[in-house]
Amino acid sequence: MKIAVFGRFNNKYTLTSVDTLLNYVAKKDIAVYIEAEFSELIKSVSTKRTFYDTFETFENLDESYDLLISIGGDGTILRAIMLVMKLDIPIVGINTGRLGFLATIQVEDIEKAIQNIIDGRYKISERSLLAIETSPENEDILDLNFAMNEVAVSRKNTTSMITVETLLDGEYLTSYWSDGLIVSTPTGSTGYSLSCGGPVITPGANSFVLTPIAPHNLSARPLVIPDSTKIQLKVRGREEQHLLSLDSRIATLDNDTIITIKKADFKIKMIDLLDESFLKTLRKKMLWGEDNRN
């Protein structure tokens, strides 16, 4: 078995998680490669440099890897998908962040979870992504023109609203007067979209959701659409430019740029352990069914 270990940030749980993971897999017949920048980060804050030097590093992945382990929060997993993209390598996340809908392995459960993965006690959840094109083309998003959570347009350098003209499969839907508009996947429905009043969508649903950000018209509500829909957006406003975000990446576009959003032609494989599920995570993270009034 050959695994890749990826991370981006260091907090009080990162070193504990890395130490626990590497000490455990070192006893197994597993080849471990640590992403080069993350390797240097953990060496810089650890007194165990000699131990970490025994593990090889990587800068890019290839199809020889069986698994990528992300150490961090959901944002770290969103960065990890840039490494796997169309390689069909499954991802699992150790949660050293906060909420963690994607990074579901808790620090105290690392050894048990890794052994379950080694033993094949897991299932694969395939997650749809959004792909984007702009006319005219924007160099900032040509190479990484996809998002696992959401694509959002929003105002820039102004407190004034923008108008987001929206077409679905070529048919005019509406023009949102708002601070922006979020196009979310089921995976992203528990993130930015949810905080703006959007619905929670289970990962297996073949749907996307349009969620306006602070709409001026109170009748503007989130809209669930089939994920086969081609979405076109065009922004107008008092400023000449607006922001486009793809998960954690941001680009600046000129107004009247035509933004085309559709389902990407590949999916990301997430590992779900058999003792975890989306519904269990939802109950736990959202505190559903708990009464904290007393």
Q: Which residues are catalytic?
A: 74
Q: Which residues sit opposite 244 in a β-bridge?
A: 153, 251
DSSP per residue, 52-105:
HTTSEEESS--TT--EEEEEESHHHHHHHHHHHGGG---EEEEE-SSS-SS--E
Query: Cβ(113)–Cβ(105) under 8 Å?
Result: yes
Residue 238 is encoded by which pair of tokens? 């008092």
∠ at Cα 94 (247, 141), nearest 5°? Answer: 20
Query: Cβ(71)–Cβ(7) under 8 Å?
Result: yes
Residue 20 CA from chain centroid, whole number? 25
Q: Which residues sit opposite 272 in a β-bridge?
A: 123
Backbone φ and ψ for 263, nearest 5 degrees, come out as -65, 135
CA distance to 18, 57, 121, per residue, from 144 (Å)? 28, 23, 33
